């Protein structure tokens, strides 16, 4: 459901500063993580980067649906058979995902993991799948069939063949979790970039806000906006890398889990707000819902704001965010 994110961040140089900036890139949860910390010494920064990596690995070993021995994999293996006892952390993450599914009428759904992969975005598709094939592809999808028992701390998938998967939502959760952990450990500034799901806090060593460059979806080697960030999160979902066109209509690789049809109408949705996990859910849902329904969804959460790009290259920007509203944007991008 989540696209490859194309957000870059700009790090100011850190000369003549008592603080040092250290950065490390690694592969975790099936994607790229860029971890940037500011600390009093490089040793402190590096030791805390190790701590961040260990925490992300722990979360991966809890929620991964591609590793066979995780709790999520055990839930999936027992779909239609029996409830599985899970840690409270996973139970709460699942509960938040289900609540988002309810709010979006299924535009967001972690049971998308059971969807048949009938859409191909590698250039091999020459015609659309039949309506019958599309309908069949989502017959095991449905958040209503994810049963949570808080008293027993169990998750049960009612239908055999059902699966849940957290995908990029899990990456956003990991980024938020690591930010909270670093703040608790006295690391006052940094960025955890989980394949584009970014949690930021504090300022760079020169005392300036972090600056996040948002990639131009029409020309990926350029950016069309630079956003200053303090303690906030920013996430982009987009269809500019993977899509197909039939009869002049563009179909994104982000699939509506309720219908089995690809998203249309938007090429990119950027969400800013307190939580990367929530921002991820809102950006993915908005890609599926489209601009008008997506606006109504995001407006239910006053702490979050959006910057959307339509298939025609037009911008739609939140009015409730002084940072986004002050960005000088062209009327459209090409």
pLDDT tens for each residue of 256-301: 999 999 888 999 999 999 999 999 999 999 999 999 999 999 999 9
Of 167, 201, 227, which residue is a domain's last? 167
Q: Are residues 303 and 197 in the same domain?
A: yes
Residues 56 and 85 in one domain: no
Predicted confidence (pLDDT) at residue 162 exceeds the cutoff of 90: yes
User: Residue 333 above 80 pLDDT?
Assistant: no
Residue 65 has pLDDT above 90, yes or no: yes
Domain membership of residue 146 (yes or no) is yes
| pTM for the structure as a whole | 0.89
Instruction: Report whether pLDDT(320) > 50.
Output: yes
Asked if 116 and 31 sit in the same domain, the reply is: no
Does any domain span residue 1? Answer: no
Q: If DSSP codes are grouped into helix, strand and coil, which group holds residue 149?
A: strand
Residue 290 lies in a domain: yes
CATH number reported for the structural domain that contains residue 296 in this entry: 3.10.520.10
Position 244 in a domain: yes
> DSSP letters along 165-214, please?
--HHHHHHHHHHHHHHHHHHTT--EEEEEETTEEEEES--TTSPPEEEEE
pLDDT digits 0-9 by tens, 184-207:
999 999 999 999 899 999 999 999
In this structure, are 50 and 185 located in the same domain?
Answer: yes
User: Does residue 305 contact residue 298 with C-beta atoms inside 8 Å?
Assistant: yes
What would the pLDDT profile of 217-251 be if each residue is shown by its tens digit?
777 778 888 888 988 999 998 876 677 888 877 78
* pLDDT for the residue 330: 64
Any domain includes 332: no
- For the chain, the domain total comes to 2
Within this chain, do residues 295 and 211 fall inside the same structural domain, yes or no?
yes
**Does residue 144 share a domain with residue 197?**
no
**Does residue 176 belong to any structural domain of this protein?**
no
Let me know if residue 174 belongs to a domain: no
Q: What is the mean pLDDT of residues 44-51?
A: 98
Predicted confidence (pLDDT) at residue 4 exceeds the cutoff of 50 = no
Give the CATH number for residue 142: 1.10.3980.10
Is the domain of 202 the same as that of 303? yes
Whole-number Å distance between alpha carbons of 53 and 40: 20
Distance CA 131, CA 217 (A): 30
pLDDT reading at 78 higher than 50: yes
Residue 121 scores a pLDDT above 60 = yes
Residues 192 and 294 in one domain: yes
Same domain? 229 vs 137: no
| 55 and 89 belong to one structural domain | no
Residues 188 and 311 in one domain: yes
Q: Are residues 94 and 213 in the same domain?
A: no
Q: Which of 115, 134, 167 is the last residue of a domain?
A: 167
* Domain assignment of residue 121, given as a range: 71-167
Q: What is the pLDDT of residue 197?
A: 92
pLDDT of residue 334: 62
């Amino acid at each position: 459901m989540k696209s490859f994110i194309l957000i870059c961040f700009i790090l100011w140089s850190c000369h003549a500063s008592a603080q040092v900036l250290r950065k490390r890139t690694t592969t975790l949860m099936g994607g790229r993580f860029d971890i940037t910390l500011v600390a009093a010494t490089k040793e402190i920064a590096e030791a805390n980067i190790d701590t961040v990596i260990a925490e992300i690995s722990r979360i991966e070993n809890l929620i991964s649906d591609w590793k066979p021995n995780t709790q999520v994999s055990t839930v999936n293996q027992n779909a239609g058979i029996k409830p599985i006892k899970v840690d409270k952390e996973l139970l709460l993450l699942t509960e938040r995902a289900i609540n988002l599914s309810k709010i979006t009428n299924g535009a967001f759904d972690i049971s998308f993991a059971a969807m048949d992969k009938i859409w191909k975005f590698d250039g091999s598709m020459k015609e659309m799948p039949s309506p019958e094939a599309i309908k069949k592809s989502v017959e095991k999808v449905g958040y209503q069939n994810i049963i949570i028992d808080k008293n027993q701390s169990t998750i049960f998938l009612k239908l055999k063949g059902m699966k849940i998967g957290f995908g990029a939502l899990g990456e956003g959760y990991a980024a938020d979790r690591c930010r909270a952990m670093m703040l608790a450990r006295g690391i006052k500034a940094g960025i955890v970039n989980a394949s584009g799901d970014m949690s930021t806090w504090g300022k760079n060593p020169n005392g300036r806000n972090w600056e996040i460059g948002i990639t131009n979806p029409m020309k990926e080697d350029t950016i069309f906006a630079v956003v200053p960030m303090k303690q906030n999160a920013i996430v982009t979902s987009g269809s500019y890398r993977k899509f197909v066109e039939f009869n002049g209509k563009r179909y994104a690789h982000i699939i509506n889990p309720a219908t089995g049809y690809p998203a249309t109408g938007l090429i990119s949705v950027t969400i800013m707000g307190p939580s990367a996990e929530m921002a991820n859910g809102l950006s993915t849902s908005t890609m599926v819902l489209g601009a008008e329904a997506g606006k109504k969804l995001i407006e239910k959460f006053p702490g979050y704001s959006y910057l959307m790009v339509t298939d025609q290259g037009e911008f739609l920007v939140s009015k409730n965010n002084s940072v986004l509203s002050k960005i000088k944007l062209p009327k459209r991008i090409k």
